[in-house]
Amino acid sequence: MIDEKTLIKRLKACVESSDNSNFTNGLLSAINIIEQQEKIIQDNGSGRKFLFRAKKKGWRQTGETDWIYGFYFCMYHNDGGIHMHHFIIPLNTDLSKDRKIGEIQVEIDPNTLCQYIGITDRNDTTIYENDVCIINGDEDDEYYTIEWDNDEARYIIDGSTDVTDFERHYGHELEIVGNAFDNPELR
């Protein structure tokens, strides 16, 4: 897996070789975000990874169900109307200096964007927002969805009859059984 410093170095090389100002600005934004995230990791020593996953743009129409895992960035693009495009640079992408940005980024469906929450479940599976889980020992066998709560500024574990959090339940008490996009029937 590529580390953040190597990614930044390779992205800067792509910027230097690009002749498209929209892509260059998007890359500079991505570099800035990754550098800020790396600074946060260095400042607090947490070692927290800022990773994302999403489905490719148009995944419902193409039937492609694979997740793209990596570093997320977005940029405005003027192609007849100014709007935002969302991308992930996948993990383990070859970021050689001669590669163009269009070859390394994957445009995603922003409605499927999920952030890694920094912990794993009882099976050591990484937990992302919108994952569906069960809580070990829960007598109701209820399904819960991992969601971000803007009001509380934290992740919550949302069930149909109960909302709980990671102060009451730890990652090792959860078991990921799917996600809200691939398994909507579990929500």
Q: Are strands 52-55 and 67-78 parallel, antiparallel or unpaired?
A: antiparallel
Q: For the residues of 35-84, what is the DSSP string, one character each?
A: HHHHHHHHHH-------EEEEBTTHHHHT--PEEEEEEEEEEEESSSEEE
pLDDT digits 0-9 by tens, 22-75? 666 666 666 665 555 454 444 445 566 788 999 999 998 998 889 999 989 888
In order along its 187 residues, the chain shows pLDDT tens digits of 455 566 667 667 766 666 666 666 666 666 665 555 454 444 445 566 788 999 999 998 998 889 999 989 888 877 777 788 899 999 888 777 788 878 889 999 999 999 999 899 999 999 999 999 999 877 777 999 999 999 999 999 999 888 998 888 888 899 999 999 999 998 8
**Residue tagged 């090792």 (tokens):** 172
List CB contacts of 78: < 8 A, sequence separation 6 or more.
Answer: 22
List CB contacts of 19: < 8 A, sequence separation 6 or more.
Answer: none
CA 175 to centroid of chain Cα atoms: 20
